[in-house]
Copies of this chain bind each other. A is one copy, B any other.
């Protein structure tokens, strides 16, 4: 007799875990960097503030994708906190195959080389302090080197597989 979880237990737990987080709202970020093969970027719903001194944030990526590998290999990267107008851009960078870094998307380049989305609510240039492997993901803890505040705008929030606008019209509790 043992208390070790069976495979069935683990499968149920993983399914319930997905259900739980599917309903947990999240702000949306687009993380970009340069690589040997050009600019790379991915959409992340896991960006959170960690500390103020030094300013630091965290996010996680699935290591399976080439984009995540290129981001983890970059010396610095830019975490863009997105506004409601960026829902389509968030979809493009959440899936492979869609056209990225097109002129219409409004990209420029920081003096330090990273791709910049100038109309993001905020763009935070970062350098990783720690990268912690967890299963097939990596959790990145990064120091914020520079902050570029963009135009004020309603925020973009992801919940239950959909993108929503969050602003003063949203029901307050």
Contact = CB atoms under 8 A, between A and B. Distances in A.
Contacts of A59: 48
- Copies, count: 2
Interface string A126-142: 00011010111101010
Nearest to A162: B172
A155 B51 contact: no
A170 interface: yes
Contacts of A172: 162-164
A147 B29 CA distance: 27
A132 B122 contact: no
A61 to B, nearest CB: 10
A94 interface: no
A20 B50 contact: no
B135 A84 contact: no
A69 interface: no
A52 interface: yes
B163 A170 contact: no
Which applies to chain A's interface (DSSP): helix, strand, loop or mixed? strand
A124 interface: yes
B51 A137 contact: yes
Interface string A43-78: 001111111111111111000000000000000000
Nearest to A156: B173
A144 B27 contact: no
A169 B81 CA distance: 24
A95 interface: no
Contacts of A155: 23-25, 159
Contacts of A50: 46, 60, 134-135, 137, 139
